[in-house]
Amino acid sequence: MVAQLLIQHGSKVYYPAVEEGISLTWTRSGSPGKLKFNVVKDDIINFTEGDPVKLTVDGTDMFYGFVFSKGRSSSTPYLIEVTAYDQLRYFKNKETYNFVNKTATQIIQMIANDFKLRTGKLENTGYTIASLPEDNAALFDIVGDALDETLQARTQLYVLYDKVGELTLQNIENMKLNLLIDADVTGSYSYTSSIDTQTYNQVKITYEDSNSGKRSVYIAKDSSHINEWGLLQYTDTVEQPGSGAAKAEALLKLYNTKTRKLSLSDVLGDVRVRAGCSVVCKLNLGDIDVQSFLMVEEVTHTFKDSEHTMSLKLRGGTFVT
């Protein structure tokens, strides 16, 4: 395994000496890709915040972003501690919008245009959101709201990520990898099961008619799970008349189950694995024998001593993070 870093400062390109231990973290939503590494300071290298950074592993480009912080400590004054983020870092910016009859794809493209961000392939989500007003909201939250609306309406989950310098939107169904994660390639795991979070056996949706003042209520429930777990209710609203019943049923289908959390450490690394992709997981966890695709909610790639390992947070079916 060969990991190579490139830093560009103006017209100069540096291939710095890097202390062992490069880490690259991707999270499915709400966070930019983050690259952390330590550069050995010499008399030649000179770079500053905002400079581009690129990581290539065994000839595969994995990350393109920008230096956001540099640091030193008295114990290792010869090292510069660097943190770089990809384009999604700029989705922490806030803005006010009022989107009307736009798909999530169109919303992302409009935001990218406004903030001068590069886009690659943005899959068409195919669902038109009638109205999405956002007041001084973080761009991450705006896109999250648009993708949540799409998920509830179409039961299709999309992931926005930066693919080596290009914003990319992809349906998770198109991100499955032919990769097996089992006990032979996993160092350790952490597993819990629960009905304490993200589990609901009754969903109550309301619609308020601003003209008549009439309130409509839509309820979907699972009586058997109410008897087993007690009443766990989720409430929400809809903006459009006639959509409450479908939304209630969709949310009940999503939340009416026991949730499980699974984290894996020291997994044999694979450069294809990013947040949003799915891998085949085959593990015996005691009360459950997992043999299915699970989605990567978060991954940290670590490159050290010519070895590539991963830490994974997985979800899918009854697994959540």
**What is the CATH classification number for the domain harbouring 295?**
2.40.30.150
Q: What 8-state DSSP symbol labels residue 185?
A: G
Share of the chain above pLDDT 90, in %: 76
**DSSP calls for 286-321:** SS-EEEEEEEEEEEEEEEETTEEEEEEEEEBTTB--
Number of domains in the chain: 4
Classified as helix, coil or strand, 183 is helix
Q: Same structural domain for residues 61 and 145?
A: no
What's the whole-number mean pLDDT along residues 37-46?
A: 92
Tokens of 80: 């510069």
What pLDDT score was predicted for residue 319? 63
CA 249 to chain centre: 25
148 lies in the same domain as 222: no
- Whether residues 77 and 50 share a domain: the answer is yes
Co-location of 184 and 281 in the same domain: yes
Task: Classify residue 102: in a domain, yes or no.
Answer: yes
- Same structural domain, 269 and 220: no
Q: What is the pLDDT of residue 168?
A: 98
| CATH at residue 74 | 2.30.300.10
**Same domain for 154 and 99?**
yes
Q: Is residue 26 part of a domain?
A: yes
Query: Whole-angstrom Cα distance, residue 55 to residue 50?
Result: 16
Question: Could you tell me if 37 and 149 lie in one domain?
Answer: no
95 and 165 fall within a common domain: yes
CB-CB contact of 263 with 313 (8 Å):
yes
What average pLDDT does the chain have? 93
Residue 110 falls within a domain, yes or no? yes
Distant-in-sequence, close-in-space partners of 148: CB < 8 Å, separation ≥ 6: none
Measured distance CA(157)–CA(161) in Å, rounded:
13
Give the pLDDT confidence of 62-92 residue by residue, as tens digits.
Answer: 999 999 999 999 988 889 999 999 999 999 9
In a domain, 321, yes or no: no
Residue 163 covered by a domain: yes
Q: Which residues in 296-319 are b (16+ Cβ under 10 Å) and which e? A: bbbbbbbbeeeebbbbbbbbbeeb
Check: CB of residue 172 under 8 Å from CB of residue 125.
no
pLDDT score for 144: 96
- Rounded to whole angstroms, the Cα distance separating 11 from 135 reads 40
In this structure, are 94 and 121 located in the same domain? Answer: yes
> Does some domain include residue 320?
no
Tell whether 232 and 104 lie within a shared domain.
no
Task: Clarify whether residues 120 and 107 are in a common domain.
Answer: yes
Taking each helix axis from N to C end, the angle separating 139-154 and 244-255, rounded to the nearest 10 degrees, works out to 100
Neighbouring CB atoms inside 10 A of 104's CB total 30
Task: Please state, for a pLDDT cut of 70, what percent of the chain lies above it.
Answer: 98
Q: What is the pLDDT of residue 317?
A: 62
Do 20 and 110 lie in one domain? The reply is: no
Question: What backbone torsions phi and psi does residue 141 show, to the nearest 5 degrees?
Answer: -70, -35
Q: What is the pLDDT of residues 139-160, one digit of tens each?
A: 999 999 999 989 888 889 999 9
Range of the domain at 37: 3-85
Q: The CATH number of the domain where 136 resides is what?
A: 3.55.50.10
pLDDT (tens digit per residue) in 254-293: 889 888 889 999 999 999 999 999 999 999 888 778 888 9
pLDDT above 90: residue 242: no
Q: What pLDDT is recorded for position 272?
A: 97
**Structural contact between residues 294 and 279, judged by C-beta atoms closer than 8 angstroms:** yes
Which range scores top for mean pLDDT: 72-76, 188-192, 220-224, 256-260? 220-224
Pick left, alpha or beta for residue 303 (phi over 0 → left; psi -120 to 50 → alpha; otherwise beta).
beta
Instruction: Report the alpha-carbon distance of residue 199 to residue 158 in Å, rounded.
Output: 22
